[in-house]
Amino acid sequence: MSPDHDTPRDDPRYPIHKTDAEWRADLAPLQYQVARQAATERAFSGKYWDHFEAGKYLCVGCGAPLFESRTKFDAGCGWPSYWEPIQGEVVERVRDAGLGMVRVEVRCKRCGSHLGHVFDDGPEPTGERFCINSAAIDFKPETP
Protein backbone atom coordinates (compact mmCIF):
# COMPACT_ATOMS: atom_id res chain seq x y z
CA MET A 1 0.00 0.00 0.00
CA SER A 2 1.25 3.48 -0.84
CA PRO A 3 1.65 6.22 1.76
CA ASP A 4 -1.14 8.70 2.48
CA HIS A 5 -1.94 11.12 -0.33
CA ASP A 6 -4.67 13.72 -0.52
CA THR A 7 -5.58 13.51 -4.21
CA PRO A 8 -3.82 12.29 -7.36
CA ARG A 9 -3.23 15.75 -8.83
CA ASP A 10 0.03 16.08 -10.79
CA ASP A 11 1.73 13.21 -8.96
CA PRO A 12 4.87 12.32 -10.96
CA ARG A 13 4.46 8.63 -10.06
CA TYR A 14 1.67 8.28 -12.63
CA PRO A 15 2.66 7.94 -16.30
CA ILE A 16 -0.46 9.79 -17.57
CA HIS A 17 -0.37 13.54 -16.92
CA LYS A 18 -2.98 16.14 -17.85
CA THR A 19 -3.65 19.66 -16.70
CA ASP A 20 -6.75 20.30 -14.63
CA ALA A 21 -8.31 21.99 -17.67
CA GLU A 22 -7.63 18.89 -19.78
CA TRP A 23 -9.20 16.60 -17.15
CA ARG A 24 -12.27 18.84 -16.98
CA ALA A 25 -12.57 18.87 -20.78
CA ASP A 26 -12.15 15.07 -21.08
CA LEU A 27 -14.52 14.03 -18.29
CA ALA A 28 -18.20 14.67 -17.56
CA PRO A 29 -18.74 16.72 -14.38
CA LEU A 30 -19.53 13.72 -12.14
CA GLN A 31 -16.64 11.73 -13.63
CA TYR A 32 -14.30 14.63 -12.84
CA GLN A 33 -15.60 14.96 -9.27
CA VAL A 34 -15.17 11.23 -8.61
CA ALA A 35 -11.99 10.44 -10.56
CA ARG A 36 -10.03 13.63 -9.91
CA GLN A 37 -11.47 14.92 -6.61
CA ALA A 38 -12.17 11.55 -4.91
CA ALA A 39 -15.91 12.18 -4.58
CA THR A 40 -18.36 9.29 -4.24
CA GLU A 41 -21.52 8.86 -6.26
CA ARG A 42 -24.72 7.99 -4.39
CA ALA A 43 -25.40 4.30 -3.85
CA PHE A 44 -27.66 2.67 -6.46
CA SER A 45 -27.31 5.71 -8.77
CA GLY A 46 -24.44 4.69 -11.07
CA LYS A 47 -24.94 3.02 -14.43
CA TYR A 48 -22.90 -0.08 -13.57
CA TRP A 49 -24.03 -1.09 -10.07
CA ASP A 50 -26.45 -3.68 -11.51
CA HIS A 51 -24.74 -4.21 -14.89
CA PHE A 52 -23.64 -7.79 -15.59
CA GLU A 53 -22.79 -8.02 -19.31
CA ALA A 54 -19.63 -9.84 -20.37
CA GLY A 55 -16.69 -7.52 -20.93
CA LYS A 56 -14.13 -5.29 -19.23
CA TYR A 57 -14.39 -2.16 -17.12
CA LEU A 58 -11.90 0.57 -18.01
CA CYS A 59 -10.60 3.68 -16.26
CA VAL A 60 -12.46 6.83 -17.44
CA GLY A 61 -9.25 8.83 -17.10
CA CYS A 62 -6.95 6.81 -19.34
CA GLY A 63 -8.78 3.75 -20.66
CA ALA A 64 -6.67 1.23 -18.73
CA PRO A 65 -8.46 -2.13 -18.31
CA LEU A 66 -9.21 -2.51 -14.59
CA PHE A 67 -11.81 -5.23 -13.93
CA GLU A 68 -13.37 -8.14 -15.82
CA SER A 69 -17.07 -8.95 -15.66
CA ARG A 70 -16.27 -12.50 -14.47
CA THR A 71 -15.04 -11.02 -11.15
CA LYS A 72 -18.08 -8.76 -10.65
CA PHE A 73 -20.64 -9.71 -8.02
CA ASP A 74 -23.71 -8.20 -6.38
CA ALA A 75 -22.52 -7.04 -2.96
CA GLY A 76 -25.84 -5.33 -2.23
CA CYS A 77 -24.01 -2.06 -1.51
CA GLY A 78 -25.20 -0.08 -4.55
CA TRP A 79 -21.81 0.23 -6.26
CA PRO A 80 -20.13 -2.07 -8.76
CA SER A 81 -18.16 -4.67 -6.80
CA TYR A 82 -15.39 -6.98 -7.93
CA TRP A 83 -13.33 -9.59 -6.09
CA GLU A 84 -10.10 -8.73 -7.95
CA PRO A 85 -8.69 -6.36 -10.57
CA ILE A 86 -7.62 -7.68 -14.00
CA GLN A 87 -4.03 -7.71 -12.78
CA GLY A 88 -2.79 -6.67 -9.37
CA GLU A 89 -0.57 -4.13 -11.06
CA VAL A 90 -3.37 -2.00 -12.61
CA VAL A 91 -4.63 -0.51 -9.36
CA GLU A 92 -2.90 1.21 -6.50
CA ARG A 93 -3.97 0.99 -2.87
CA VAL A 94 -3.68 4.18 -0.83
CA ARG A 95 -4.38 4.61 2.88
CA ASP A 96 -7.41 6.88 3.30
CA ALA A 97 -7.88 8.30 6.81
CA GLY A 98 -10.67 10.71 5.85
CA LEU A 99 -14.21 10.78 7.23
CA GLY A 100 -13.04 9.71 10.69
CA MET A 101 -12.11 6.17 9.63
CA VAL A 102 -9.25 4.35 7.96
CA ARG A 103 -10.03 2.75 4.61
CA VAL A 104 -8.04 1.66 1.58
CA GLU A 105 -8.60 3.85 -1.47
CA VAL A 106 -8.19 2.30 -4.92
CA ARG A 107 -6.68 4.35 -7.77
CA CYS A 108 -5.74 3.68 -11.38
CA LYS A 109 -2.01 3.10 -11.46
CA ARG A 110 -1.63 4.78 -14.89
CA CYS A 111 -3.36 8.11 -14.23
CA GLY A 112 -4.08 8.23 -10.50
CA SER A 113 -7.84 8.48 -10.91
CA HIS A 114 -9.82 7.68 -7.77
CA LEU A 115 -11.89 4.54 -8.38
CA GLY A 116 -13.33 3.69 -4.96
CA HIS A 117 -12.24 1.60 -1.98
CA VAL A 118 -11.35 -2.02 -1.23
CA PHE A 119 -12.70 -3.92 1.78
CA ASP A 120 -11.97 -7.36 3.21
CA ASP A 121 -15.57 -8.60 3.14
CA GLY A 122 -15.69 -10.01 -0.39
CA PRO A 123 -16.18 -13.54 -1.69
CA GLU A 124 -13.57 -16.20 -2.26
CA PRO A 125 -11.10 -16.66 -3.76
CA THR A 126 -9.69 -13.28 -2.62
CA GLY A 127 -12.04 -12.29 0.20
CA GLU A 128 -11.84 -8.71 -1.10
CA ARG A 129 -14.55 -6.35 -2.34
CA PHE A 130 -13.39 -3.62 -4.68
CA CYS A 131 -16.25 -1.13 -4.31
CA ILE A 132 -15.94 1.08 -7.41
CA ASN A 133 -17.80 4.20 -8.53
CA SER A 134 -19.60 3.81 -11.87
CA ALA A 135 -18.49 7.36 -12.71
CA ALA A 136 -14.84 6.22 -12.57
CA ILE A 137 -15.22 3.44 -15.13
CA ASP A 138 -16.36 2.76 -18.68
CA PHE A 139 -17.49 -0.59 -20.07
CA LYS A 140 -16.16 -2.40 -23.14
CA PRO A 141 -18.37 -5.35 -24.12
CA GLU A 142 -16.80 -8.69 -24.93
CA THR A 143 -16.74 -9.32 -28.65
CA PRO A 144 -17.67 -12.81 -29.91
Phi and psi (nearest 5°) for 116? 165, -140
3-state helix, strand, coil in the chain (%, to 5): 15, 30, 55
pTM: 0.90
Instruction: Tell me if 107 sits within 8 A of 128, measured CB to CB.
Output: no
Q: Which of 59, 108, 111, 131 is the catalytic position? A: 131
Report d(CA 137, CA 115) in Å as an integer: 8
**Tens-binned pLDDT, residue by residue, of the chain (144 aa):** 333 444 555 677 899 989 999 999 999 999 999 999 999 999 999 999 999 999 999 999 999 999 999 999 999 999 999 999 997 789 999 988 777 778 899 999 999 999 999 999 999 999 999 999 999 999 999 987
Determine the topology of domain 20-141 in CATH: 2.170.150
Residue 131 a catalytic site member: yes
Q: How many other β-carbons are positioned within 10 Å of the β-carbon of residue 76? A: 7
Extents of the domains making up the chain: 20-141
